[in-house]
Structure 1
């Protein structure tokens, strides 16, 4: 069978074996980033249907369907062991609730591999962030981990609009390697050493984006949203300092920028979830009406209890948790919240 190829691209330079686990929108966007620079990208997708559709038509049949791939640069599989065995760098890009299902199947040797988390949520099995899950469950130390942060919506990557990635990683050598893999004409890459801070901020911004969506659905305007987001970034700083205190500036793009784009953008699935709830949908019906995972819903439970355990003053997190998990009225919770923001 003749392979269908996408549009002509520059000749890729890197022969570093790299793979992506996941077949959602951000996983597809990451594959698009990597094929700009890599001669071959390994891609582990969820099932044989997705694999077959990609190999037949050159694009993901469900997410970012407009992105066409040169199949000569892809090796698609449904076997995580095949991918991990073949790659030095493994990007994890599944929804957080499915990560343990994928990782539990990993039986091959993964010593000295670099695992890059593009997951912006809490792993339910561990009730913890991905960095701790990989360390505790698989003995993958922070020297062999990295975290991808935004602001970087998958939909804008698909359109090759200029986007920004922050890659948080402990070792400078690994940072330079990863930068060379991801940077392109439309991807600007910065590096950080704040692995846990970037991971937690990516989780928190999804929760705050649910809140921004709720306020929109309730009919609050731009003025309130601006106050809401400015309070959210201060609340984020309080939370980050409590869970992982290192020098950081939350006004940098990987913290504040990612929060802004997720809270305001119509591409934001977390904002869309909140908007439905604000308009009167039940939490369950709002979740069921979406065809993508809104990580903020799942993360809110864990983050709320962490905040309570540490006795933090986080009124926004408290309000969103009450709406999502205690069936409290969104209208009443936000009316109360308006008196707590400044």
Structure 2
């Protein structure tokens, strides 16, 4: 191990209190002796401490609280000071709220792992770009963790696959081995930070499309063609915005798309299914009471693609349905005429 990577991961923290953050905490604590964990409120911490599990998400997963130090919103700078490596795992609409409150002098020396499958909505930028532009981090200090890995299956110790992407491959390998690999999680490594981030954003939009089509009772044959076209669309866009050598059939790209589009655990598919059945966007959001990242992603990608002009009929259709009130059935029918 090089001198540069010998101190990694050091003291590890997770920012976020949802199901994905809870699943990541379970994974990390199979490899690390201690975890700093920032939750939203004092009440959340009190309930977690009383129950020994997250009171709202993955309640079957219990934790040894002697291995956890909790922080809350008001402690965000203290939380970052207490960590060498921080995993960002809050829903994308909230990440700007946290990062704006962290002093650049506090976050600048840290290694940041993005586990958010979304973008910063206000700026329409990837998390890695936001960290470099607004928080002054160097590319080698930024990593991403993604893959076909539902939190609900991590809770049941089901075999799962993740990929750590980092501009510094030495750090990627250490993070894979020391944080994210255990008896039920296999973790690969990659340099394709930008491609992984964009793919994680896009697959949520395609999952909404799959859910809409399910809600319209279009059947499995149609779904297979939808997803075949979705991976081609994803590949075209990611290759246009970040041209590097990648195999989109790897699990971090295609695998994550498939599980998000097909699984009953997918909140984006669930959200789309409700839209397909006639719910308004607002009604679907209120009934779910969880963040469907693809809703925000649809607008972000639409605005970014105004610059690149990639042909993205699936993303465009989802955007028009969610943000412009386009008729659902007619929009999907029109989309179907473009499929190969």
Q: What is the deviation of 1:282? A: 0.8
- 1:15 deviates by 8.1
State the TM-score, normalizing by the size of structure 1.
0.94
CA distance in 2, matches of 1:290, 1:238: 32
Tell me the equivalent position of 1:49: 43
Q: Aligned with 1:219: secondary structure?
A: coil
> In 1, are the aligned partners of 2:202 and 2:294 still within 8 Å (CA)?
yes
- Aligned mates of 1:297, 1:111 — CA distance in 2: 31
Counterpart Cα distance in 2 of 1:173 and 1:83: 26
SS at match of 1:211: helix
**Paired position in structure 1 for 2:181:** 183
* Aligned equivalents of 2:299, 2:179: Cα separation in 1: 35
Aligned counterparts of 2:107 and 2:306: Cα–Cα separation in 1: 37
Query: For the structure 1 residues 15 and 216, does the alpha-carbon distance in structure 2 shift closer, same or farther, using more than 3 Å as the test?
Result: closer
Alignment-derived partner of residue 203 in structure 1? 201
> Matched residue of 2:101: which SS?
coil
Deviation of residue 338 (structure 1)? Answer: 1.0
Paired residues in the alignment total 329
SS at match of 1:164: strand
Q: 1:227 & 1:109 partners in 2: Cα distance?
A: 48
SS in 2 for 1:236: helix
Between the aligned partners of 1:212 and 1:61, the Cα distance in structure 2 is 31
Who is 1:171 aligned against? 168
Q: What are the equivalent positions in structure 2 for 1:300-339 lying under 5 Å apart? A: 300-339=298-337
Residue equivalent to 1:115:
112
Provide the rounded CA distance (Å) in 2 between the counterparts of 1:36 and 1:206. 28
Deviation at 1:305, TM superposition (A): 2.3
1:151-176 Cα offsets, whole Å, 9 max, x none, are 11111011110111111001122112
**What is aligned with 1:92?**
88
Question: Is 2:58 the counterpart of 1:61?
Answer: no
Runs of 4+ in structure 1 deviating by more than 6 angstroms, as ranges, are none
Q: Please give the alpha-carbon distance, in whole angstroms, between the structure 1 residues aligned to 2:100 and 2:277.
A: 39
User: Any conservation in 2 of the 1:16–1:38 contact (CA below 8 Å)?
Assistant: no
Q: Is the 1:163–1:187 contact (alpha carbons within 8 Å) kept by the matching residues of 2?
A: yes
In structure 1, the partner of 2:102 is 106
Q: Matched residues in 2 for 1:15 and 1:39: separation?
A: 12
Contact 1:15 1:38 in 2 (8 A): no
Q: Secondary structure at the match of 2:70?
A: strand
TM-score by length of 2: 0.95
Distance 2:306 2:98 in 1: 31
- Cα deviation per residue 1:213-235 (whole Å; 9 max; x = unaligned)? 00000011000000000000000
Gaps of 5+ in 1: 1-13
**CA separation in 1, counterparts of 2:77 and 2:15?**
11
